[in-house]
Amino acid sequence: MTDRLVDFVGILRDYGITAGPSETVDAAEAILALGLTDTHRLRSGLAATLLRRNGQRAVFDQLFDLYFLGIDTIDPHPPEQPESLEALRDRVVSVLADDERTTTTELARETLTRLGGYGGAGAGRTPNPVGTGSGMGWSSYQTMKALRPEELIDRIAETMGGTDELATAVHTIEAERRVDAFRATVRTEAMLRSAQLRGTDYIARRGVESATDHVDFLGAREQDLAEMRRLVTPLARKLATRLAARRKKSVRGHIDMRRTLRRSMATGGVPIDPVLRARKHGRPDLVILADLSGSVTGFAEFTLHLTQALQDQFSRVRSFGFVDTCDEITPYFTPGTPPAPGIATRIIRETHVSRFGSSNYGEAFRAFTTTHLEALGPRTSLLILGDARTNRTDPNLDALHLMLDRAKNVYWLNPEPARSWSTGDSAAAVYAEHVTMHECRNVEQLTTVIGRLLPV
């Protein structure tokens, strides 16, 4: 158990959950106090000792299942004369309508055995030893796809009774919850069986979904993007507090060495009373220039919403979007209004950010400097958002230099990993020679960069 706990804490660190020696000792004490018989109580105890902030529980639960749950001794092979698929669906509907936890767990295992095996898993073949790469495995996605969850929800809600509109809506919500719980049980069982085939460490590193703030923008699914949108408000609140503290501290100004030394003459040359330079009060302007094309739209949408939510920290925030030309999109992002999915598509349809549909940074920069250069000034910070993939067109460094000369600060946030900046049609390496470029592949990196770069 000691080795298992140490391995568990080590894999937590790999997923960004910082648990140190003291937390590990507390977790060991929790195991001794709670015992191993009640896994639900053990899960809560270890979470209380090892987790420090919100957003980590989903990853923790998946890894806990791998390291502390065992599979009951069952035959992972379907019966020789299995029931029909329709009969299995009927049984799933009946069990979920009754909401019996024990029965639901057994049915999830049986359903996975029947529908989730691939590569010969569950078909009477003996699994190869761990780590041999036999190609066998278990898929919760394949299992649920065969069950057709949408139909299950409707049938469960109908089985639960109620004819009026309100009862139907309530039962539908409850049916969705039960189907989601059943899906999670199937997913856990599939992960545990896959760990038996390939090893716990292998599945822990490749088969566990990362926390939302560690999911790459460029590989995010729609449900990941939806969860990211829900992070905008708490992230903005945290960053606003940090910026306000920095601004309050910086208002004190810097030491005026000449006047301090002159005043120190009255105290024998000892600078007892330092003189501070007067610091101008006021908040800076922020201008955002965002690529709205292709796979970078999720990154651009999230960053635009995040910076707009920080609008109170600036005297003015203006946003501009581009694909192969540029247009102002400030009215589409309202502070305090929840971000709507698909807003990039709406912007492309309703504004003049695109003419031909392919990214062209050179033309976009030319359009910005031609029609919107007045947005930049000596108190303006410019954030450029995009992957710098120019489709092998002219990067137009002259236009970029105009923006650099006009603005106080210019930063480029790139959602691609730095190792890809010089590959294919990317001009990131060329732009990075002239403007400070930062890798922002996920929410965590973006939060760190914005919290460090935004002016006070």
Per-residue pLDDT of the chain (456 residues; tens, 9 = 90+): 888 898 888 888 888 788 889 999 999 999 999 988 888 899 899 999 998 877 778 888 888 888 887 654 444 555 555 678 888 888 888 888 887 777 888 888 888 888 888 776 665 444 444 444 456 778 888 888 888 888 888 888 888 876 677 888 888 888 898 898 888 888 888 888 888 777 778 777 777 777 777 888 888 877 777 778 777 878 888 787 777 776 666 656 678 888 888 888 888 888 888 887 766 555 678 899 999 988 788 888 888 888 878 877 788 889 999 999 999 998 888 776 766 777 888 898 899 998 888 889 999 999 999 999 999 998 898 999 999 999 889 999 999 999 999 999 999 999 999 999 989 889 999 999 999 999 999 888 888 888 887 765
pTM of the full structure: 0.69
Cβ-based burial of 389 (10 A; exposed 0-12, middle 13-18, buried ≥19) = buried
Q: Which residues contact 186 (CB under 8 A, 6 or more apart)?
A: 108, 111, 112, 116, 140, 143, 144
Q: Which residues contact 102 (CB under 8 A, 6 or more apart)?
A: none
Token code pair at residue 347? 């912007």
Cα separation of 241 and 262, whole Å?
Answer: 38
Cα separation of 398 and 403, whole Å?
Answer: 9
Residues 388, 312 contacting (CB under 8 angstroms): no
Cα dist from 261 to 253, 254, 267, 276, whole Å? 17, 14, 10, 12
Token code pair at residue 204? 């822990």
| Matching residue, tokens 């549909």 | 357
C-alpha R_g of the chain: 28
Token code pair at residue 186? 């199937």
Query: Residue 282 has what pLDDT?
Result: 59
Query: Residue 436 has what pLDDT?
Result: 92
Cα separation of 360 and 325, whole Å?
Answer: 8
Cβ neighbours around 353 below 10 Å, total: 25
Cα dist from 276 to 9, 116, 171, 253, 254, whole Å? 49, 70, 67, 6, 5
Query: Residue 280 has what pLDDT?
Result: 59
Query: Residue 336 has what pLDDT?
Result: 67
Catalogue the E-assigned strands of 44-199. Answer: 117-118, 137-138
